A and B are shown apart, each in its own frame.
Chain A
Amino acid sequence: MLFSVIGNYSLLLGLFFGLVLLYFSTKNFRNSKLLDTKILSFTFLQFFLVVISFLCLVSSFVVSDFSNETVFNHSHTTKPFFYKIAGTWGNHEGSLLLWLLVLTLFILIFLIRTKNQPVKYRVLTLVFQQIIIIGFFIFLIKTSNPFNHIYPVPSEGLGLNPILQDPALAIHPPILYLGYVGSSIIFSSVLAATTLNIVTKKWASHIKKWVLISWIFLTLGILLGSIWAYYELGWGGFWFWDPVENVSLMPWLALTTLLHCILVLEKKLILTSWVIILSISTFALSMSGTFLVRSGILNSVHTFANDPERGLFILIFLFSLIFLSLFIFFFFHKTSTDNPSSFFWLSKETAIIINNWFMMYFLSVVLIGTIYPIFLDVLSSQKISVGPPFYHKLIIPFLIPFLLIMAIGPKLKWIKSNLEDKIYLITLLIVSILISFLIVKNFSSNFLINTILISSAFYLFFITLRDFFIKGFKNLAQNIAHFGFSLLILSILFNSLFSSEIITNLKVGQTFENKKAKIVFESISQKEAKNYRSIIGNFTVQDSKGKIENLSPELRIYNQPNITTSEADIKTTLLSDKFMVINIVQNQEFFNVRYQVKPFMLWIWISVILISFGGLMSFLKKGYEK
């Protein structure tokens, strides 16, 4: 009760300080050479108020204060302590409060870390950021206040959806949001820089840090979501081209492109308009991601509360922000005339630009695949869905040139270059093709495309691997990231080529046998936990080589809300995962058993971690990259 009141007033005060900040910063912008100290204190105060508000919500969850509507809807007294805390952001209201928290935190860090930048630029960035922050404050207070009261006070809450009660998903939203919200700083900063016409090399190397930090978090956030989907949903995969997944992939693609453009801009004053447009679209994509997920428009396997009012608000807010930014772009942006914008065809920047195009192509494919069903529904009320084949067909062929350019590009020099080391490059290409040929030769389907695809991934793999030895610490960050990417593509390809699956229905004591494996359903056992009881199936699986493995997948029947979830049993080894999940249909004796052997699963996760580690190294590196 008390917490809700404090939290609510902190929010209102935070909004008030947002308006105050807007006033002071416009004043400061007009007539001062120095940053008004009040601005810094008020920004801190605003952040502090949001922290208080956030802690109040956490406390309400911890003490199970069911007079709070959000707590009532998403918590339960028997829920484990950890998930009471994680439940704070496992719902719409709480997650928006988290957005706001990160928004205010980032602008504070931005102001502290940019002492060397021009005052006007800092103040103007603050103004744009405050516009976003105020928008979110109003959105939160008006349409999704986390501190609404209910009376009479219920004695028990409705509980958190059990599939969300999971360690990976508990930290997934905060990490992902750090990435999303990081793009808001880039957005504000680019608008400020455009207005003041300081989109320069110096600006590029300053904003690069922010691009990197949001990129790292976004990558890790997507990774966590993917890992969770793999073991919790029991569908035996890590990416389903589900709309909710796609909306996190789109900002990632835009941000990755932006990152590479910033690197070019840092060296050579070209691509300024492109950088501005990319920064705006990254943020717009992050926002619309939130909009699409939260408004319930997306017909997705992930479900969240539907509320048209919320959707409409975000949509209007988003459109005004895009309109504002386009206005600034067209009226303030001047392409510098004195810059020698000549491109030599063989240079690092050309390679980057070509791959930029491919990235934009991938982005448009994902974008169209995600929103086309929505448009068709609105226009003709026809219900359709776009599945994985669409994406695979359009993306996979273009990965080949993409990978090749990624391999060759970093070998080139800026501005004008010759291809050195030709013999090595060609030898490696031949080696890659041979290896891929040997691997794929037993597979008849799609032989050609698989060979070429695996060759190009191997090519990138070998070239980056060799660079670790000959270049040492030079360009290490970039090399690690690119190496990680080649490893990712290879793992994904091998994973999809060599996975095998058995789906069958078994009663206790029955045996399933085919060429690949023999599955014996030995017994079932039961277990009680605090907020669920579980049925554990005990299986022994014998593979074709006679190796025996015991697997015990679990079914959890939660008491509040009454939902059954499957907990897959996964035996991970360096080279492959054995994955088993069971399910039961009510009033039936048969268990639905799904057994999969998935090679290189571990390497998919490792390679994504490598990619973000590359980002981290680049972030930590001081000064200018040679």
Chain B
Amino acid sequence: MYGRKVKLRFLFVALILITLILTVFLVLKSLEENVVYFQSPSEIKALSELDKKKIRVGGMVKKNSISIKSSEVKFIITDFKNEINVTYSGAIPNLFEEEKGVVAEGFLKDRNFFSATKILAKHDENYMPPEVKEALGEK
């Protein structure tokens, strides 16, 4: 009915469409699984159920809260309304200090305890991650 050329072209377009749909599907599915949400200590307090997925917690490192042992570091992240205890064993970035902004990535044990797998570095002493700024409410 149709010529060979038309058929080929049709096949080509169909192939492109299928790849496109496949790509979008794969990417969206993977996004859903691998996205890390950011939460402030207050948001965690307000959670109705605990998420088992990896999250990020951000805020200020509370004054006099850092304590170090050979295997781990403990500190408290606060947004001046609520706070959360963090335990961490891993590399500490340069600008990790008390009363400075911090973002920790890891898993919630319960509403008060967070076990971090990574602490994120910042490059500049004045810089504060936008989420932290927002979590602290323009302080």
Q: Do A and B bind each other?
A: yes
Question: Is there a chain B Cβ closer than 8 Å to A389's Cβ?
Answer: yes
Assembled-state Cα–Cα distance A589/B42 (Å): 32
User: A369 contacts which chain B residues (CB < 8 A)?
Assistant: 31
Of all chain A residues, the one with the shortest Cβ separation from B67 is: A588
What are the nearest 4 A-B pairs in CB distance? A383-B38, A390-B34, A590-B68, A592-B92
| A386-B36, A504-B71, A505-B68 given; A564·B94 CB < 8 A | yes
- Residue pair A386, B34 in contact (C-beta under 8 Å): yes
List 9 additional A-B contacts (Cβ < 8 Å) besides A361-B19, A386-B35, A583-B92.
Answer: A303-B124, A383-B130, A390-B34, A394-B26, A394-B30, A505-B71, A564-B95, A585-B73, A592-B91
Q: In the bound complex, do residue A365 and residue B91 qualify as a contact, i.e. CB atoms below 8 Å apart?
A: no
B87 nearest CB across to chain A (Å)? 13
Expressed in whole angstroms, the minimum distance between the Cβ of A278 and any Cβ of chain B is: 16
The tally of residues in B whose CB lies under 8 Å from a CB in A reads 41
Interface contact A505-B121, CB-CB below 8 Å: no
A450 to chain B, nearest CB (A): 19
The answer to whether the Cβ of A566 comes within 8 Å of any Cβ in the partner chain is: yes
Set of chain A residues within 8 Å of B62, measured between Cβ atoms: none
- Which A residues are CB-close (under 8 A) to B73? 505, 585, 592
Residue numbers in B under 8 Å from A384 (CB-CB): 35-38
Provide the bound-state CA to CA distance between A512 and B121, in Å.
25
**Is the Cβ of B97 less than 8 Å from the Cβ of A585?**
yes
Interface residues of B in 25-79 (CB under 8 A from A): 26-27, 30-31, 33-38, 56, 66, 68-73
| B73 CB to nearest A CB, Å | 7
Q: Is the CB of A390 within 8 A of B31?
A: yes
Q: Which of A303, A357, A365 contacts B123 (CB 8 A)?
A: A303
Would B31 and A372 count as touching, CB distance under 8 A? yes
- Measured CA separation A561–B123 after assembly (Å): 12
A505 partner residues in chain B, CB cutoff 8 A: 68-73
Instruction: Give the shortest distance, in Å, between A232 (CB) and chain B (any CB).
Output: 10
- Binding site secondary structure of chain A: mixed
Closest to B90 in A: A503
Tell me if A506 counts as interface (CB < 8 A to partner B).
yes
User: Which residues of chain B are near A383, meaning CB under 8 Å?
Assistant: 37-38, 56, 130-131, 134
Question: Is A496 close to B, CB under 8 A?
Answer: no
A581 at the interface (CB under 8 A from B): yes
Known A385-B38, A390-B35, A394-B27: A504·B92 in contact at CB below 8 Å: no
Contact check, A503 vs B91: say whether CB atoms are below 8 A apart. Answer: yes
12 pairs, CB–CB < 8 Å, chain A vs chain B:
A299-B130, A303-B124, A383-B38, A383-B130, A389-B34, A503-B89, A503-B90, A505-B69, A506-B70, A563-B124, A583-B93, A585-B92
Q: Are A387 and B90 in contact (CB under 8 A)?
A: no
Structural contact, B94 and A583, CB atoms closer than 8 A = yes
Chain B residues within CB distance 8 Å of chain A: 19, 23, 26-27, 30-31, 33-38, 56, 66, 68-73, 89-98, 120-125, 127, 129-131, 134
Whether B121 contacts A233 by the Cβ 8 Å rule is yes
The answer to the question of A234 belonging to the interface, with a C-beta cut-off of 8 Å to chain B, is: yes
B residues in contact with A585, CB < 8 Å: 66, 68, 73, 92, 96-97
Specify which chain B residues have a CB less than 8 angstroms from the CB of A563 in the assembled complex. 94-95, 124-125
Interface residues on A, range: 35 or more
Closest Cβ–Cβ distance, residue A395 to chain B (whole Å): 10
Assess the A510–B91 pair: CB atoms within 8 A: no
User: Would A504 and B70 count as touching, CB distance under 8 A?
Assistant: yes
Residues 359-391 of A at the B interface (beta carbon under 8 Å): 361, 364-365, 368-369, 372, 382-387, 389-390
A621 at interface (Cβ–Cβ under 8 A)? no
- Asked whether B37 lies within 8 Å of A382 as measured between CB atoms, the reply is yes
Contact flag A581-B91 (CB < 8 Å), given A383-B38, A393-B30, A563-B125 = yes
Asked if A77 CB lies within 8 Å of chain B CBs, one says no
Q: Which residues from B are CB-within-8-Å of A161?
A: 123-124
In the complex with contacts A364-B23, A505-B70, A301-B92 CB distance below 8 A: no
Taking CB atoms and an 8 Å cut-off, the chain A residues in 549-583 that contact chain B are 561-566, 581, 583
Kindly report which residue of chain A lies nearest to residue B66, judged by CB atoms: A585
Given A394-B26, A504-B70, A594-B91, also A303-B37 (CB < 8 A): no
Which residues of chain A come closer than 8 Å to B95, judged between CB atoms?
Answer: 563-564
* Least distance between B72 CB and chain A CB atoms (Å): 8
CB-CB under 8 A from A564, the residues of chain B are: 94-95
Q: How far, in Å, is A598 (CB) from chain B's closest CB?
A: 14
Whether A588 lies near B68 (C-beta < 8 A) is yes
A445 in contact (CB, < 8 A): no
Chain B residues in 8 Å Cβ range of A299: 129-131
Q: Are B97 and A586 in contact (CB under 8 A)?
A: yes
Shortest CB-to-CB span from A155 to chain B, Å, is 21
Bound-complex Cα distance A389 to B91 (A): 20
A393-B30, A588-B66 are contacts. A583–B91 as well, Cβ < 8 Å?
A: yes
Partner of A235, one of B30, B34, B91: B91
Distance A564 CA – B36 CA, assembled complex (angstroms):
29
Chain B CB within 8 A of A416 CB:
no
Asked whether, in the complex, the Cβ of B97 is within 8 Å of the Cβ of A301, the reply is no
Nearest-CB distance from B74 to chain A (Å)? Answer: 11
**B70 engages A590 (CB within 8 Å):** yes
Q: Which of A62-113 contact B (CB under 8 A)?
A: none
Most buried by A among B19, B23, B91, B127: B91
Give the distance to chain A from B32, nearest Cβ to Cβ, in Å. 10
Q: Which residue of B lies closest to A381 (CB)?
A: B134
Q: With both chains docked as a complex, state the minimum distance between the C-beta of A507 and any C-beta of chain B, in angstroms.
A: 8
Name the CB-closest residue of A to B93. A583
Find chain A residues with CB under 8 A from B30 CB: 390, 393-394
A113-134: contact bitstring with B at CB < 8 Å (1 yes, 0 no)? Answer: 0000000000000000000000
Docked complex Cα distance between A564 and B94 (Å): 6
Question: What is the bound-complex CA distance between A384 and B91, given in angstroms?
Answer: 23
Closest B residue, CB atoms, query A561: B125
Residues of A within 8 A of B68 (CB): 505, 585, 588, 590, 592
By beta carbon, the residue of chain B nearest A303 is: B127
Q: Which residues of A contact B56 (CB under 8 A)?
A: 383, 385
A346 in the interface (beta carbon within 8 A): no
Distance between Cα atoms of A606 and B13 in the complex (Å): 41
Chain B hits for A382, CB < 8 A: 37
Q: Kindly state the separation between the CA atoms of A59 and B31 in the bound complex, as whole angstroms.
A: 48
**Chain A min CB distance to B95 (Å):** 7
